Amino acid sequence: MRMALKLTRDMVSGTLLVLLVASGVATPREKPIRAETMTEDQSRDLALSTARPLFGKAPGEYLRALRAAEYDEPFQTEWLHLRGLRAYVVIETGVEFPSSGRPVVHTSTGSASVLVLVDPVQRKGYSLRGLGDPTRAFNNLTHDLGVKIGTAETAEALFWIFADIAGGYRADIVLEPREAQWEVEGYWLRRSGGDGLDQARDRWLKRSSSALEQVSAPRATAVTDGFEVVFYQAGEGAVLRKRLRIGRDASVNVTESLPITSKITDAIPGGE
């Protein structure tokens, strides 16, 4: 099957069904091919047990798994119904016992959280964005689902999904030089409140304008045994170039992460 796709960051929510159709894993509008075999409570417990080692929590210590439909978006509603995956965000919680004896539960005692996908049929959990090794978990997920990558278009679709639910940097990907500049300027504004922006920007651009010219939208190209995606990410006041290798078995591996600009905070003495 040949399909012509044009994918951008804003189209991620609809790409996985396209990916599975193109790879032969699913067909449009087919009936669900397997039924869910775990209750909601059982799958929530599995999400907790999957994430618990990443937090260093012993059984009985406090974690909470929140059903979060918004994290299902990369897997489009039709595909989730077809496969039955359930998404949870696991967070630390704390419990106080005031004098009244009634416990008070705090649901945001720490900043750490983990996105866990549960397959209720295979009874497996996958710890993705957050702690641990999300790349390995993502590769286990695509392997267990039998996803295969045969074209640059499906490789590009898989890249956007990985960047969202595993890499956690989808929002930081920049598509062209001006967007990269704005993201870096935004970093300065958040740190300084705007003080000295013009001076910092001018000095930073003097050093970095030529490097910014290479910034472009992610694009998958064929390489030996798979595909490679080069993309650009703005973070911590600089722009990085990254390379992602995608195998035909849908395995993902980051092969390069290299700053192409200096940090904007380095443009002004004492900027850090």
Tens of pLDDT, residue by residue over 75-87, are: 444 433 456 788 9
Together in a domain, 120 and 218:
no
* Mean pLDDT of the chain, nearest integer: 78
Q: What angle do CA 41, 127, 169 make, to 5 degrees?
A: 125
25 vs 149, higher pLDDT: 149
Mean pLDDT to the nearest integer, 160-165: 92
Cα Rg of the chain (Å, integer): 21
110 vs 52, higher pLDDT: 52
Together in a domain, 135 and 219:
no
What type of residue sits at position 189?
A: L
Which of 61-82 are b and which e, b meaning 16 or more Cβ less than 10 Å from the residue's Cβ? eebbbeeeeebbbbbbebbbeb
Together in a domain, 220 and 127:
no
Together in a domain, 139 and 194:
no
Predicted local distance difference test score (pLDDT) of residue 83? 63
Measured distance CA(92)–CA(28) in Å, rounded:
39
Which of 194-218 are b and which e, b meaning 16 or more Cβ less than 10 Å from the residue's Cβ? eeeeeebbebbbeebeebbeebebb
Together in a domain, 137 and 45:
yes
The tally of domains found in the chain comes to 2
Residue 45 maps to a domain: yes
What type of residue sits at position 62?
A: Y
Q: CB neighbours (10 Å) of residue 156? A: 23
Residue 164 maps to a domain: no
User: Which of 16-25, 62-71, 139-148, 193-202 has maximum average pLDDT?
Assistant: 139-148
Together in a domain, 207 and 107:
no
Measured distance CA(261)–CA(127) in Å, rounded:
32
Residue 160 maps to a domain: no
Together in a domain, 90 and 178:
no
80: helix, strand or coil:
helix
Predicted local distance difference test score (pLDDT) of residue 2? 40
52 vs 28, higher pLDDT: 52
Last residue of a domain, one of 83, 110, 145: 145
Together in a domain, 191 and 225:
yes
Tokens in use for 234? 């703005």
Together in a domain, 210 and 255:
yes
Predicted local distance difference test score (pLDDT) of residue 19? 45
Residue 1 maps to a domain: no
Residue 33 has pLDDT above 70, yes or no: no
Q: CB neighbours (10 Å) of residue 255? A: 9
Residue 161 maps to a domain: no
Question: 207 lies in which domain range?
Answer: 170-267
Residue 163 maps to a domain: no
Among 69, 260, 63, smallest CA distance to 180 is for: 260
Residue 128 maps to a domain: yes
Together in a domain, 91 and 48:
yes
Predicted local distance difference test score (pLDDT) of residue 62? 80
- Between 15-23 and 152-162, two packed helices, what is the crossing angle to 10 degrees? 140
| In the block, residue with structure tokens 């396209």 | 18
Which of the four pLDDT bands, split at 50, 70 and 90, describes residue 269?
Answer: low
| β-sheet bridge partners, residue 181 | none
Predicted local distance difference test score (pLDDT) of residue 109? 57
Together in a domain, 36 and 128:
yes
Do the Cβ atoms of 227 and 246 come closer than 8 Å? yes
Do the Cβ atoms of 180 and 232 come closer than 8 Å? yes
Return the percentage of the chain with pLDDT > 90, whole number. Answer: 39
Together in a domain, 51 and 97:
yes
Tell if the pTM clears 0.75, that is, is over it.
Answer: yes
Residue 21 maps to a domain: no
